Amino acid sequence: MKQNISEHGHITTVLTEQGKKDLDLFHPSYRVKCVRELPLSTLRNQNDLYLDILQCEKAGLINVNISVDKTKQANFKNFLMSLYMQDPESTADQWNILRTEIIELLVEKLLIKELIKEIREEIKEEAEAFVIAKSKEVYRKLLMTGPFTTKTGNDDYMDHQEETKKAGRKQDNEIIKDRERNNVMGAIMH
Gap between the Cα atoms of 116 and 122, Å rounded? 10
Residue 54 covered by a domain = yes
Q: Is 31 part of a structural domain of the chain?
A: yes
50-92 confidence digits (pLDDT tens): 889 999 999 999 999 988 888 888 888 888 888 877 665 655 6
**186, part of any domain:** no
97, part of any domain = yes
Segments forming the whole domain that contains residue 113: 2-143
Question: pLDDT over 70 for what percent of the chain?
Answer: 72
Supply φ then ψ for residue 137, to 5 degrees. -65, -45
Specify whether the CB–CB gap between 15 and 65 falls below 8 A.
no
Give the pTM: 0.66
Percent of the chain scoring above 90 in pLDDT: 10
Residue 53 lies in a domain: yes
Can you tell me whether residue 103 is helix, strand or coil?
Answer: helix
Q: In this structure, is residue 100 part of a structural domain?
A: yes
Confidence of residue 121 (pLDDT cuts 50, 70, 90): very high
184, part of any domain: no
- Chain Cα centroid distance, residue 125: 8
Of the candidates 67, 65, 57, the one whose C-alpha atom is nearest the C-alpha of residue 16 is 57
Look at residue 189 and tell me if it is in a domain. no
CATH number at residue 89: 1.10.3500.10
Number of domains in the chain: 1
Answer whether 5's CB lies under 8 Å from 76's CB. no
Of residues 154 and 85, which shows the higher confidence score? 85
